[in-house]
Structure 1
């Protein structure tokens, strides 16, 4: 009963926050970058442009703040959205129920002359029947001022995750282990699976960036069900076996070997590395940044 009441309360907060924004005058005074600010998910935390460009420094907002049971937080969300142009992304914000209300809100705000840039976000459907299949986005991209998605085969300009700009990827590493496994935070809850793979070196996306990149750097092959662990491993020229848990794994330009935690050992020899991905992703993001900042009138 307590959970039901809490859920109903969150629904009321979401509706009230969204309606307050839709009923407010909209301005493009400055800019705010929305993404999922989750310190327990290193990929979500580091996938946002505000971390890599001085003009966006300290201009961030958690996309989940619209449902927080705290008036100060929701009022700040309403004020920031209503008064500023928006950069939305990165992360798997599209075709995911947890973000659909926010993304639909942003789409409606474009009718009020709100300047909105979508930067490095992508689809993230959990329905396995959609994996590796072309799917429509749950928003109309043409309504937004500038669109860059991390999904190579989908509509919009291809813009891989901006986290490639982090200087940590310039570090040189020496491989000291053949295979490393990086678990998504949800997979860590599967005690039997983690126990079964205890003979392998393991990490997870709940660790900090330095520890994760160091773990990737010392591994020749990474096995993972974390999108950013897959992406960052490719940036570091590692062989990658991906264990998909949503549609997001299938639309990166460069393909890993797809497998499962039950069969990956049979697929280890199939994995290959790519060269030049880091440089390519950085160039794409710098070029997109120039267009975005011109559109948003940022110097």
Structure 2
């Protein structure tokens, strides 16, 4: 039976030495494509090292030349070498398949009712100064729970954070984008309104998208199923593992992950059963003090 070794790398600290040709490498999340020369170079290096690279909803993140965050990109990512490919950018000129950011699966979105505390809430990217002093503001580095609760308790979200705009859309809020600093905002499927300087006019132009969450989750789940099929095929190709053996491995993984829970539950049941038997044994003693003393003595002997 093949033993899995799972390694999680940060894009800024990849351990290239442990990546083998037969490894499956899943690269996912965030605007990693054309973000900077170093990211492109390192992603291409992974494509050289592994024959089984999957892109899971990566995003393009080009900055305009006039912006102070601009990075010149000379090395292009070799998309043709990616075995299973999707990006979070809708109708991108690359024509690569669209699968939305997988954060749509966050379970907090399922409990989406809160009392409204503010009409307009601002979620700013941590790299920018506060520009709307008249509105309550949080940052995109706050916890997921904080950001989602802030969105749910606001009618309108004014933001320059990609995920704040995306999550607010999934929660059927009106979204206004200000200070766009990269092209990632141009490829959101469910379009926000760009801040014009007249907030009231912008609000009138805003749409809400009632099916955004369900549609995003459906696309994500379907892609996840394809990834599982890819992994099964890669296992058979490199390790000669049949379907029955794969099922056995899945069962073992499930058992190992739940073993401690099962053991603790069984021990608790056994302990409760023993205590009930002991209670019946000592119940004939009329004086409680002596009854408790005998009960504790029996329990200590068992331990």
TM-score, normalization: structure 1?
0.68
Say which SS state the counterpart of residue 125 (structure 1) adopts: coil
C-alpha spacing 1:79/1:282, structure 2 compared with 1 (3 Å): same
| Pick aligned residue for 1:178 from 112, 116, 119 | 119
Corresponding residue for 1:285? 220
CA distance in 2, matches of 1:257, 1:108: 41
Corresponding residue for 2:145? 210
- Equivalent pair of 1:29/1:85 in contact (CA under 8 Å): no
Say which SS state the counterpart of residue 122 (structure 1) adopts: coil
Deviations 1:91-117 (A, max 9, x none): 10101114122122133335xxx2011
Shift of 1:175: 2.3
Corresponding residue for 1:227? 162
Deviations 1:184-203 (A, max 9, x none): 0101xx2xxx2x52220111
Corresponding residue for 2:211? 276
Matches within 5 A, 1:109-188: 109=49, 114-127=51-64, 138-154=76-92, 155-171=95-111, 172-187=113-128
Say which SS state the counterpart of residue 101 (structure 1) adopts: helix
CA distance in 1, matches of 2:66, 2:198: 20
C-alpha spacing 1:129/1:290, structure 2 compared with 1 (3 Å): farther
Corresponding residue for 1:94? 33
Stretches (4+) displaced over 3 A: 28-32, 262-266
CA distance in 1, matches of 2:215, 2:5: 27
C-alpha spacing 1:29/1:150, structure 2 compared with 1 (3 Å): farther
C-alpha spacing 1:160/1:202, structure 2 compared with 1 (3 Å): same
Corresponding residue for 1:295? 230
RMSD: 2.7
Deviations 1:235-260 (A, max 9, x none): 10000011221000111211110126
C-alpha spacing 1:129/1:215, structure 2 compared with 1 (3 Å): same
Shift of 1:138: 2.9
Corresponding residue for 1:258? 194
Corresponding residue for 1:104? 44
Shift of 1:272: 1.6
Deviations 1:270-298 (A, max 9, x none): 21211111111111111101111111227
CA distance in 1, matches of 2:212, 2:201: 26
Which structure has the bigger radius of gyration?
2
Deviations 1:106-144 (A, max 9, x none): 33335xxx20110011100011689xxxxxx93232221
Report the count of equivalent residues. Answer: 222
Corresponding residue for 2:175? 240
CA distance in 1, matches of 2:119, 2:221: 34
CA distance in 1, matches of 2:221, 2:134: 41
CA distance in 2, matches of 1:236, 1:174: 14
- Equivalent pair of 1:119/1:149 in contact (CA under 8 Å): yes
After TM superposition, the structure 1 stretch with the greater mean CA deviation from structure 2, 263-272 or 98-107, is 263-272
Say which SS state the counterpart of residue 64 (structure 1) adopts: coil
Q: Bigger relative contact order, structure 1 or 2, given CA contacts below 8 A and separation 6+?
A: 1
